[in-house]
Structure 1
Amino acid sequence: MDTLNCIECFIRSAEAGSFAQAARRLGLTPAAVGKNVARLEDSLDVRLFQRSTRKLSLTEAGEYFLAEAAGGLSTLQLAMGNLTSLKSQPAGTLKVSMGLSFGREYMVPLLGEFLKRYPRVVPDWHFDNRPVDLIADGFDAAVGGGFDLPLGVVARELAPAHRVLLASKAYLETAPRLNSPADLAAHAGILIRSPQTGRVRPWTLRNRDGLLAPIDIQPRMTLSDPEAACAAAQIGLGIALVSVAHALPYLERGTVQRVLPDWYVDTGATTLYFAGQKLLPQKTRVFVDFVVERFKALGLEKRLSALVGPAS
């Protein structure tokens, strides 16, 4: 364990550029930090720092050792922390990002059972309809879909990310008849602007046989929120294309219905993603496993499908 302390003193000194700064970070005296680094140099029989009265600078050997040791120390410390925590329950603040409506409708209802199982975990959930940088923004995990995952991030699939066309019964009774995607050109469209680009993305419909068709519809209005689009469709203002996750509550209440129910848009999957390190903090690992387990138990992977769920 003394060797680990010496390595940590070296790494923190290299990061800070001085023994004094590293000592403040580690809760030690500058003399103790310098002594630990000297012990490490003696054990390795190599000089790691060039020392002067003004600053520390790494030798070539020090630069090499820092590059090799920094990641390994973090892994060892995490492994030790996880091993210690096996005797107790997972604990700590769990920072997670998720979409506003999706989080409120499908994630918040899971909180009670999660906190019952893991009372020492404190959720810090951020509701925002955009992808986040897990590392730069300090998130333990995030839930989202329809975008590419960055390098170094892995994902567990929760449900399909399908979009469907919706309208109210009242609108469909007075509007031109719809038999195929080509008939959409005669209808009022409730369009949704992307929060990432600020533009309306052109989507392509597909059916169960794999045939493709463009969505050519008359823009009646453009909104920036899918919940608002569902509400507009509900009061008969036109046809909206929204994710099944947003559409499902309206479909289950019967206030809207599928338009061209054999057709849908496939945008991949809604996933729970997290940093792809071998040793996850225990709080993150149990959260990931819990959410995947509950989505399967509740049948959400089917309910959120345009092909097999209530929206089919």
Structure 2
Amino acid sequence: METLANLESFVRSAESGSFSAAARRLGLTPAAVSRNVALLERNLGVRLFMRSTRGLTLSEAGERFRHSVQGGLDSIQEAIADIKVNAGQPAGVLKLSAAPGFGMDYLLPLMPAFLERYPGVIPDWVFDSRPLDLIAGGFDAAIGAGFELPPGMVARELARIHLIAVAAPALLQGKRRPKDPSGLAEFPNVVIRSPLTGRLRTQVMRNHAGAEVTAKQRAIMLVNDPDALSRAVVLGLGVGLIPVPHAAPHLESGALVRLLPNWYGDVGAVSLYFTSQKLLPAKTRVFIDFVVEAFRAQHIARQLSAR
């Protein structure tokens, strides 16, 4: 009879394609995970992985075996996790990721209430705008947009990301405001590159009636970060298509004004990313529930909407 440690080492290595990444998830050393998998292969008499300098690839037998054992392993670990959740308070270091601006404006303000409720949990925040490998990085959860969803990860939508056209008041002095997004080309624009592809984004905007028009932008400067985009536009360098959460404080202070108030761009969802819903440690489960409830109670999705 194979041990749970051997089976778990195999399944997590298969999900991440790496003994090192599996070790971080399991709290073991890479050598221990490799040893567990090797013992499993020896006992079964088959090679489960094809090993190379680029990582691990499941063999044909390994793929069949993973398919057979995954469900049973999940059920066992779900039962173990349930016992642990009900046996005591959530505790431990909780590694989290979020984009700097969004994280500091919308997630850090939730932390006092979270820590008061769960004093045994220590949030370890990594603020980074770049897409991260959540499994290889050992993250318990991440909040953001544009993450690839590898096997073993799920995403729970929190809100939609809307872009609006904004500019510094001084930039608009003596100029006629555009009637629709195509008119943005009459102004200098600060344009953001996609952090995933490095390409310039072509944004289709829609109005409340459902009409769609492509925003035409005459770029005078390029950036790769929404915080940098916001600051450049506040400095009066040009018009920018800025996510609502980045534009909101500047609109409230008067540093920016909104052009085309009936138009917005929908660029996707901001989501909460975490590992398989059935296998969450208590610290991760309570964090997810807390954030989802806070977004609902504080109407944060409405605050992020351009509509």
TM range (shorter): 0.7 to 0.9
Q: State the partner residue of 2:201.
A: 201
State the number of aligned residues: 272
Letter in 1 for 2:275: A
**Aligned equivalent of 1:227:** 227
Unpaired runs of at least 5, structure 2: 14-18, 20-28, 49-60
Bigger radius of gyration, 1 or 2? 1
Query: Structure 1 residues 203, 236: closer, same or farther in 2, change over 3 A?
Result: same
SS at match of 1:96: strand
CA 1:271–1:7: 2 relative to 1, 3 Å: same
Alignment partners' CA distance in 2, 1:73 and 1:113: 35
* Distance in 1 between residues matched to 2:268 and 2:109, nearest whole Å: 24
Which aligned pairs between 1:261-300 and structure 2 lie closer than 5 A? 261-300=261-300
Q: Is it true that 1:8 corresponds to 2:18 in the alignment?
A: no
Name 1:79's counterpart in structure 2: 79
Q: CA deviation at 1:158?
A: 1.4
Q: CA RMSD in A?
A: 3.2
CA distance in 1, matches of 2:113, 2:280: 22
- Unmatched 5+ stretches in structure 1: 17-21, 27-32, 38-47, 50-55, 308-312
Q: Does 2:182 correspond to 1:182? A: yes
- Bigger mean CA offset, 83-92 vs 71-80: 71-80
Correspondence for 1:52 = none
The one-letter code sitting in structure 2 at the alignment partner of 1:59 is G
Question: Closer, same or farther in 2 for the Cα pair 1:13/1:177, shift >3 Å?
Answer: closer
Alignment map for 1:1-312 (pairs within 5 Å): 7-8=3-4, 11=7, 25=32, 56=42, 58-59=44-45, 67=66, 68-69=68-69, 72-73=72-73, 75-77=75-77, 79-146=79-146, 149-307=149-307
- SS of corresponding position for 1:86: helix
Q: CA deviation at 1:84?
A: 3.0
Q: Is the 8 A contact 1:79 1:279 kept in 2?
A: no
Deviates more, 1:140-149 or 1:292-301: 140-149
For residues 73-128 of structure 1, the C-alpha deviation after alignment (integer angstroms, 9 at most, x for no partner) is 46424532431341311112211211111111111111111111111111122111
- Aligned equivalents of 1:13 and 1:266: distance in 2? 41
Q: Match of 2:72, as an amino acid?
A: G
Structure 1 pair 59/246, CA: closer, same or farther in 2 (3 Å)?
A: same
Cα distance in 1, alignment partners of residues 195 and 243 from structure 2: 14
d(CA) in 1 for partners of 2:290, 2:195: 29
Q: Distance in 1 between matches of 2:94 and 2:181?
A: 44
Q: How does the TM-score come out when normalised to structure 1?
A: 0.76
What is the rounded CA distance, in whole Å, between the counterparts of 1:93 and 1:13 in structure 2?
22
Partner AA of 2:292 in structure 1: V
How far 1:148 moved relative to its partner? 5.5
Aligned partner of 1:216: which letter? K
Q: TM-score scaled by structure 2?
A: 0.77
Question: Bigger shift: 65-74 or 129-138?
Answer: 65-74
1:220-240 alpha-carbon deviations (Å, 9 max, x no partner): 211222222222222322201
Distance 2:303 2:277 in 1: 31
Contact 1:176 1:186 in 2 (8 A): no
CA separation of 1:146 and 1:85: change in aligned 2, threshold 3 A:
closer
In 2, the alpha carbon distance for the partners of 1:245 and 1:120 equals 31
Q: Distance in 2 between matches of 1:147 and 1:133?
A: 8
Residue identity in the other structure for 2:145? G
